[in-house]
Structure 1
């Protein structure tokens, strides 16, 4: 009974969010596109509420997701151990990526001048290189698991 009641409340809540978003969206189409592009006051009164509404919905979704995930981890210590183990592996891979990256100068498209903030030894360059190497390492691992799963499926067939 409680589950049915909470589902009904959740459905009403979702419908209200959708109706509010729909009304804000329809308000944009009620104005002429040229007027929205040329008149800042009209654009602020019509488009800005939809942007703010979307931003707040996004932030609420992120916060709710993070809080519920943390509550779930605290309630189930075995999942907490698995999660911490996974985070430790990701941290080790990040350290490996950090040591693989360099902080060489970043040149413009013509190769003539160094881009602003792209000087040699810059920590930004080092972290960008780390992000690239991290993505490559994770991509190779994911590709390996994909091939492994594919081969395992072929053997079972």
Structure 2
């Protein structure tokens, strides 16, 4: 019962802060006025704090749930190992050469940043292919069952 009351008070507080921020934006005046900058800054900071709080709570609650269920923890750790292996494959398949644009001008110099950029692209491609294969596999399984 106490947690229910706490959540109601928390939601009410967030709602009041959001309404105050919206009123500040509505009364801010011109786009370049200091009042508008202050109101926009308040709303951006408010949104960032809420996003950070939501992310933190999601991670903490997920971890608590995993520790309560050892079978799920084992599956999660196995999934993280597979993702790590795929990232390692992407990293070692990437070159650290300079990245050039369409008109042959250098966008990124050769080095670490270039290597990690290509690693991210390769990792995305691998995950796209793996996801596509599982999607088609699941689609075919459902077609065969029905």
Does the TM-score normalized on the shorter chain lie above 0.5? yes
Write out aligned runs for 1:1-157 (5 A): 2=1, 6-32=3-29, 35=30, 37-39=31-33, 41-111=34-104, 113-115=105-107, 118-120=108-110, 122-157=111-146
Alpha-carbon separation, structure 2, partners of 1:130 and 1:89? 16
Alignment RMSD: 1.8
5+ residue gaps, structure 1: none
Alpha-carbon separation, structure 1, partners of 2:11 and 2:132? 38
Verify the 8 A CA contact 2:28 2:36 in the aligned structure 1.
no
Look up the SS of the partner of 1:102 in the other structure. Answer: coil
Deviations 1:98-154 (A, max 9, x none): 12211221124421x323xx223x111111111111111111011011111111111
Q: Deviation at 1:8?
A: 4.3
TM norm structure 1: 0.83
TM norm structure 2: 0.88
Whose RCO is larger (CA < 8 A, sep 6+)?
A: 1
Q: Deviation at 1:82?
A: 1.1
Look up the SS of the partner of 1:38 in the other structure. Answer: coil
Alpha-carbon separation, structure 1, partners of 2:23 and 2:137? 49
